[in-house]
Amino acid sequence: MDLTTVEGLTSALEAGNRRALARVISHIENNTELAMPLLAALYPKSGRAHIIGVTGAPGTGKSTLVNQLAGAYRRRDMTVGVIAIDPTSPFSGGALLGDRVRMRDLAGDPGVFIRSMATRGSLGGLAQATDDVIMALDAAGFDRIIIETVGVGQSEVEIASAAYTTVVVEAPGLGDEVQAIKAGILEIADIFAVNKADREGVDRTVMALKMMLNLGAPEKFQVMHHGRMLPVNLPEPEKLPRGWTPPVLKTVAISGEGAEALMEAIENHRLYLEQSGGRILRDRLRAATELRVILRDYLLEELLARTDPGELEILVEAVARREVDPYTAVRQLVHKTAD
Ligand SMILES: Nc1nc2c(ncn2[C@@H]2O[C@H](COP(=O)(O)OP(=O)(O)OP(=O)(O)O)[C@@H](O)[C@H]2O)c(=O)[nH]1
Ligand SMILES: [Mg+2]
């Protein structure tokens, strides 16, 4: 099998060749010449996997829980791809692992593929590369794809838009419960896992979450998708499906307690999305966002390639000296290159 061509890589990847998959991912991450033709070849073969985001504050037990979740899916004979976006994750190797034995089991299992991605580089770049790697795993035939991200800053929101089901992991004893439960998390959570349920204070955390859910009563499927208005013709808000209340589950990732129930909750949410039309809606929202992002980057690149660097420099100078405002400068640039 020729793993140096698009055709060779694509057919090997589809046949379940893990080395081919790893190579495809490297091409995507390094944005090589093969990246775009590979993405084009693989895209029509994707769209089958259920994509699960797992996010939460540092150290809440996300990796340990993802481990258990992957194990639960394996016991149901489903294949699992894991992407850890977190430099300190045990998945990236070296770091301490909650349960080494289980992890070793997973690592030797051909039904599981684990890949970590570094958070370096721009957020937008990472989000796009992540979407592309998810797509490659999807095309490779994994039934479930789990993405772990640390919930600091915006990244969890970005990643949540790639997932169909977002699990937010909380842990007791993070101090003031209401503070630990970050604003905005209610809008992205489809399921809450209160991990480290073997520790004191777990019921208080569960209570606090349930209270916030009742108070906030967030409505999924609003036109504002993850806080952003999307440019797509959506059904009337009142016609949008409702009726998913995020369950709050207790888990003990180090023992595996609750992992099975968490998997079932994820599967329930998957069914809910399918039956309510939510999956189709999310696909459209994602396509709209993705197209806009790629279009923006593409147009910028094209325009800059056609622009004389000297001329750009002159404009930059003029704007810096306040001789021209940046809006007029942009219009000048665009119209000049359009001719
Ligand atoms: N007591 C207890 N400890 C746990 C549990 N789950 C995980 N831990 C421990 O918590 C620590 C952090 O676990 P990780 O799985 O690395 O947490 P994480 O959220 O992935 O951490 P980051 O990726 O660094 O944000 C480890 O020492 C785990 O063994 C649990 O259910 N109970
Ligand atoms: Mg981790």
Whether residue 205 sits in one domain with residue 128: yes
Whether residue 81 sits in one domain with residue 208: yes
Residue 93 forms part of a structural domain: yes
Q: Whose CA is nearest to atom 7 of ligand 1?
A: 61
Q: Which of 64, 250, 255 to mutate to test the pocket of ligand 1 (most atoms within 8 A of CB)?
A: 64
How far, in Å, CA of 164 to CA of 47, rounded? 11
Residue 198 beta carbon below 6 angstroms from any ligand 1 atom: yes
Residue 265 forms part of a structural domain: yes
Across the beta sheet with 248-250, what order do the strands follow?
112-117, 80-85, 144-150, 50-56, 165-170, 191-194, 248-250
Residue 196 beta carbon below 6 angstroms from any ligand 1 atom: yes
pLDDT tens string 134-172 = 999 999 999 999 999 877 555 555 655 689 999 999 999
Residue 53 beta carbon below 6 angstroms from any ligand 1 atom: no
Q: Give me the number of domains the chain comprises.
A: 3
Where in the sequence is the domain holding 334, given as residue range(s)?
Answer: 307-338
How far, in Å, CA of 164 to CA of 307, rounded? 41
Whether residue 148 sits in one domain with residue 24: no
Segments of the chain with pLDDT less than 50:
88-102, 121-123, 180, 218-235, 237-241
Among the three residues 237, 261, 276, which one is the final residue of a domain in this structure? 276
Whether residue 177 sits in one domain with residue 124: yes
Residue 330 forms part of a structural domain: yes
- Can you give the CATH number for the domain in which 66 is found? 3.40.50.300
Residue 173 forms part of a structural domain: yes
Residue 144 beta carbon below 6 angstroms from any ligand 1 atom: no
Residue 150: what pLDDT?
78
Residue 251 forms part of a structural domain: yes
Whether residue 315 sits in one domain with residue 210: no
Whether residue 219 sits in one domain with residue 73: yes
Q: Which atom of ligand 1 is nearest to the CA of 195?
A: 31
Whether residue 252 sits in one domain with residue 169: yes
Number of helices (H), then strands (E), in the chain: 14, 9
Q: Which ligand is nearest to the CA of 65?
A: 1
pTM of this structure = 0.84
Residue 173 beta carbon below 6 angstroms from any ligand 1 atom: no
Q: Which ligand is nearest to the CA of 250?
A: 1
Average model confidence (pLDDT) across the chain: 82
Whether residue 213 sits in one domain with residue 79: yes
Residue 294 forms part of a structural domain: no
How far, in Å, CA of 331 to CA of 191, rounded? 46
Whether residue 324 sits in one domain with residue 228: no
Residue 92 beta carbon below 6 angstroms from any ligand 1 atom: no
Whether residue 131 sits in one domain with residue 34: no
Residue 89 beta carbon below 6 angstroms from any ligand 1 atom: yes
Residue 285 forms part of a structural domain: no
Whether residue 63 sits in one domain with residue 35: no
Whether residue 136 sits in one domain with residue 24: no
